[in-house]
């Protein structure tokens, strides 16, 4: 696992965007795995700038998002679909037909999950997967557990995850308690993985991940140690205790 420490959030974000841009220039029909949350916002902003000012072309890129809350409709402002369009897709030329995001309102959610994996298989494996990390070490919404699922599935969110995300909702109690997430299978099959982490609140988990190299389902991100091409880019604050 390669580790890069950047001075600040801006540098972390621009480095991540540069890696994505290089991958798209090399392979215009890149299969790109995307994350939401606060961490990748700077990267999306920089990719939008590159599209507008440097002509970075997303017209053939295929995107798969990691996760979505269950029970909220795609146009709900708290859905990850809404987030993706607001913060990225509306500002670049990704074709709507090439955008895949789990549907938290799917009628038959089990069938939806199977179909999502089939789509990833059809276009994949994912060439470049962007990940954030939860304070409890989750990737996607694969929460610490005795066993981790391989396939896309519905997960009950951990208390910590609900607390961390609840503040984005007008009433934190409206925060869904379940989500659909890609499993460890599609993530680990990605040819290249880029995990981003910033801020002091990620320092403790980054220290557990990096200091004592081991693999455990209690820290889902630890599986990245086994991946042949995983890079972590973090800012100084997140790297603090790990250095």
Active site residues: 67, 136, 138, 143
**Does position 143 bind ligand F6R by CB under 6 A?**
no
- Which strands make up the sheet holding 67-69, listed edge to edge? 67-69, 178-181, 153-156
As measured in angstroms, the least distance from the Cβ of 70 to ligand F6R is 14
**Does position 66 bind ligand F6R by CB under 6 A?**
yes
As measured in angstroms, the least distance from the Cβ of 153 to ligand F6R is 14
Distances (CA, A) of 75 to 81, 86, 171, 212: 7, 11, 18, 42
Gyration radius from the chain CA atoms? 17
**Does position 86 bind ligand F6R by CB under 6 A?**
no
**Does position 137 bind ligand F6R by CB under 6 A?**
no
Q: In the set 15, 46, 67, 127, which binds ligand F6R (CB under 6 A)?
A: 67
**Does position 79 bind ligand F6R by CB under 6 A?**
no
Q: In the set 14, 36, 79, 152, which binds ligand F6R (CB under 6 A)?
A: 36
Q: How many CB atoms lie within 10 A of CB 229?
A: 12
Residues 212, 182: Cα–Cα separation, whole Å = 26
Q: In the set 38, 73, 93, 216, which binds ligand F6R (CB under 6 A)?
A: 38
Which residues of this protein are in contact with ligand F6R, per CB under 6 A? 35-39, 66-67, 132-134, 138-140
């Amino acid at each position: 696992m390669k580790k890069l420490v950047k001075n600040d959030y801006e540098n972390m974000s621009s480095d991540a965007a540069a890696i994505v841009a290089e991958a798209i220039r090399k392979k215009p029909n890149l299969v790109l795995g995307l994350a939401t949350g606060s961490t990748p916002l700077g990267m999306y902003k920089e990719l939008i700038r590159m599209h507008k000012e440097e002509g970075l072309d997303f017209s053939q890129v295929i995107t798969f998002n990691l996760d979505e809350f269950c029970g909220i409709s795609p146009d709900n402002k708290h859905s990850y679909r809404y987030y993706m369009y607001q913060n990225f897709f509306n500002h670049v030329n990704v074709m709507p037909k090439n955008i895949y995001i789990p549907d938290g309102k799917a009628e038959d959610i089990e069938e939806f999950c199977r179909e999502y994996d089939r789509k990833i298989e059809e276009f994949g494996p994912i060439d470049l997967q962007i990940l954030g990390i939860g304070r409890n070490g989750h990737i996607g919404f694969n929460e610490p557990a005795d066993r981790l699922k391989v396939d896309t599935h519905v997960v009950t969110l951990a208390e910590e995850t609900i607390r961390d995300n609840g503040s984005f909702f007008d009433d934190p109690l409206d925060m869904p308690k379940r989500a659909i997430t890609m499993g460890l299978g599609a993530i680990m099959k990605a040819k290249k993985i880029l995990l981003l982490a910033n801020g002091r609140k990620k320092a403790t988990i980054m220290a557990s991940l990096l200091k004592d190299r081991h693999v455990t389902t209690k820290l889902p991100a630890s599986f990245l140690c086994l991946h042949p091409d995983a890079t972590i880019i973090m800012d100084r604050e997140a790297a603090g205790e790990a250095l």
